Amino acid sequence: MCRLWSAVQIGNFMKKRYVLAIDLGASSGRGMVGCFDGEKIILKEIHRFPNVPITIGNTLHWDIDRLFNDIKQSIAKAALLYPIESVSVDTWGVDFGLLGSDGNLLENPVHYRDNRTVGMLERAKQYLSNEEHYRLSGNQLMEINTAFQLLSLKENRLELLEKADKMLMMPDLFHYLLCKEKCSEQTIASTSQLYDPFKKTWSKEIIEAFDFPSCIFTPVVPPGTLLGRLHKSLADELGVSNLVVMTTAGHDTQSAMIAVPTEQKDFLFLSCGTWSLLGTETSVPIATPKTLSKGMTNESAYGGKTAFLQNITGLWLIQESRRQWALEGRDYNFAKMAKLAQNSQKIDSYINPDDPIFASPGDIPNRVQEYCRNTEQSIPKNDGQILRCIYQSLALRHKLAAETVSDCTGKEYKELHIIGGGANAAPLCQMTADACQKTVLAGPSEATALGNAAAQFIALGCLENLEQARQCIRSSCEPIQYDSISLEE
């Protein structure tokens, strides 16, 4: 098949282009240089660093100063090795920082796993019914969402909210620290339950219903917006000139969605990391009483599209198990944990990954055993069986979510694209294929960083659009295929 290249592509093929993607995940952050050669995007890890919340008083916070220092290190290291043209940051959703009138942070941003939002979902009904809140926002009602974090401030720390001049979601906060421009990137704003997914801007109705100060909300801009150059004092400190700061799809799930290597208009994806986000891409939001009852959420995606999905507790269970076993002297890597699960004796026991018992940090393996005991199932006896129980429970939960998406959209999906860290877990991929009775295409595992970089390359004119970016990503990494084993076999 003959491939036709545009003049822009031909020019870019003759010269490699470089961008820096900063991806802040649940346990670590990475500075990844993306190189585009006209056909493929190749990633190179420049700097990896921990992303661990800190407790100040009784509150769980982002370690903002250390993280920003690591972002600066990433820029300095990348610029030393490559002629990077731009940088952009993605993070998980819902969290934010508050700036005072002097432009400085009022305090370290609070982490969504802090308990300040406990009870706020119930309290919110006094301002706006669940049904109306969902109709206006399209977001699954979860206490961790930005709206309920702000409600906690309004009811318990009003003096802090009254001091706030601007609220910036976390990717926007890091961009502000880099170039001093204040804005709200579309995809990250759409995780807040304060955003109108139809008008693609902040929801005046929701903000007024809760009586939040409207002045704290900054203009909403799309992914790929050039914000400005690294501000002079920072450029001088790092020895970097002419580096452009831009928005990518600031919500890490939406950056990952850019990197789904599909040619299909209708596809099913599972962005599998600390959270499993399973859904599809639609042209418009779907926010109905039915989708509310099914726990579906709508988030703005790249290119004006909508990510219609379910939030599911994901590899958090594996990550926390690993941390617990390391404390006990058994320091497994994730590949070893996958093998332990694969080689363990089968066990017909399941947990509900979304049960509140698994929400907080701590001894997850003991809680898995406790859950099985309390539900009168066989109790996993060793690390391998605990891991197998977690993986097969996640696979079953993926099946239920896939069925829900099909029920809500009226469409059938033969394939499921697993992207993110979960694509490396062979037992999870095979169990998900078997549970869903679908072909699973696993990869890329670095979907978030790839999508972050791809959005930058589109903004720089190296790629023309989302479809071409996905074509490029298909050329860059071949997914691993897992065929389902018939349940009758």
Q: Which residues contact 3 (CB under 8 A, 6 or more apart)?
A: none
DSSP 3-state of 184 = strand
Asked if 226 contacts 243 with a C-beta cutoff of 8 angstroms, the reply is no
C-alpha distance from residue 23 to each of 51, 255, 415, 453 (Å): 10, 10, 27, 10
Q: Using CA atoms, how far apart are residues 444 and 388, in angstroms rounded to an integer?
A: 23
Phi, psi torsion values for 289, nearest 5 degrees? -55, -35
Q: Is the torsion defined by CA of 475, 268, 221, 107 positive or negative?
A: negative
Given the residues 63, 90, 252, 383, the one annotated as active site: 252
C-alpha distance from residue 273 to each of 87, 373, 484 (Å): 23, 27, 22
Respond yes or no: is residue 483 known to be catalytic.
no
Report which of 89, 24, 68 is spatially closest to residue 453, judged by C-alpha positions. 89
Report which of 19, 32, 35 is spatially closest to residue 86, judged by C-alpha positions. 19
Q: Using CA atoms, how far apart are residues 93 and 169, in angstroms rounded to an integer?
A: 8
Q: Which residues contact 208 (CB under 8 A, 6 or more apart)?
A: 214
- 166: tokens are 């601007």
- 477: tokens are 């990494």
Report which of 479, 477, 457, 478 is spatially closest to residue 468, judged by C-alpha positions. 457
Residue 201's identity, in one-letter code, is: T
Asked if 424 contacts 336 with a C-beta cutoff of 8 angstroms, the reply is no
Side-chain-side CA neighbours of residue 346 (13 Å): 2
Partners of 229 in the beta sheet? 244
Is 205 buried (19+), middle (13-18) or exposed (0-12) by CB count in 10 A? Answer: middle
DSSP string, 10-35: HHHHTS-EEEEEEEE-SSEEEEEEEE
Residue 79's identity, in one-letter code, is: A
Q: Using CA atoms, how far apart are residues 93 and 98, in angstroms rounded to an integer?
A: 15
Q: Using CA atoms, how far apart are residues 92 and 192, in angstroms rounded to an integer?
A: 11
- 326: tokens are 């390391």
Catalytic center residues = 252
